[in-house]
Amino acid sequence: MASATTATDNPVPQPAAEPRMGLRVILILMAIVEAIGSIPNVGTLIGDMSQFLGSGLSSFLIKTHFATTPIFAVAALALAAMDHIRHAITALALIALMRWLSLMPSVVLHGLDFFGLIGNRTVVQIIAFPLMAICAIVYATRNERLVLSTLLVSLPIMTNLFFRLALFAISIAIASF
């Protein structure tokens, strides 16, 4: 006669609630930063696009990047709020990939600039950030290393935020003289 197993015989390990909550908070903050950072781009998209040269592939990729960033940011915000960590990571990684695609026509036309602070940032945006986004998407779809995936999508966002704040501080310092 087989004995009946109870729920206490083979407990299923539950994931810790605290790390998921921490990931949710980080992803929500990153989505808010991306959403706020995309507001000027939406204004540019609605307004005059003549500042972007050409009407071909380059212009299309820039417009697509400007149009999809707020959509992906709001989606990541909503998904992280609903505890869909994997999908929120994917949405933020797609923003990084769209940013990379919008930079590609300029790289093809002008090449990579390896010198100076802006040149180093460009190389990181062209090489490192898309690879980080792809790794984050792969890990998120496999439901593996979600902490690392969150770090991989947060680093480009924080780097862009740092450069925006640094440029703002420099412009304030120059204007005060």
Q: Summarize pLDDT for 118-150 with one digit per residue, the tens.
A: 555 677 788 889 999 999 999 999 988 999 999
113 confidence band (pLDDT: 50, 70, 90) = low
Q: What's the confidence (pLDDT) of residue 51? A: 63
User: What's the predicted TM-score (pTM) here?
Assistant: 0.78
Supply angle C-alpha 167, 126, 72, rounded to 5: 80
Say if CB 125 and CB 99 are below 8 A apart. Answer: yes
pLDDT at 10: 59
The 10 Å CB-count burial string (b at 16+, else e) for 22-52 is ebbebbbebbebbbebbeebeeebeeeeeee
In the prediction, which pLDDT does 123 show?
75
Domain positions in the chain are: 18-43+55-176
Q: Give the pair of three-digit tokens for residue 169.
A: 């501080």
CA separation for the pair 60, 162 (Å, rounded) = 27
For residues 65 and 42, the answer to whether their CB atoms sit within 8 Å is no
Average pLDDT estimate for 105-122? 65
| Spatial separation of the C-alpha atoms in residues 57 and 109, rounded to whole Å | 12
Determine the longest span between alpha carbons in the chain, in angstroms.
Answer: 90
Tokens in use for 171? 């412009």
Q: Which of 16-20, 64-68, 74-78, 160-164 has the lowest mean pLDDT?
A: 16-20
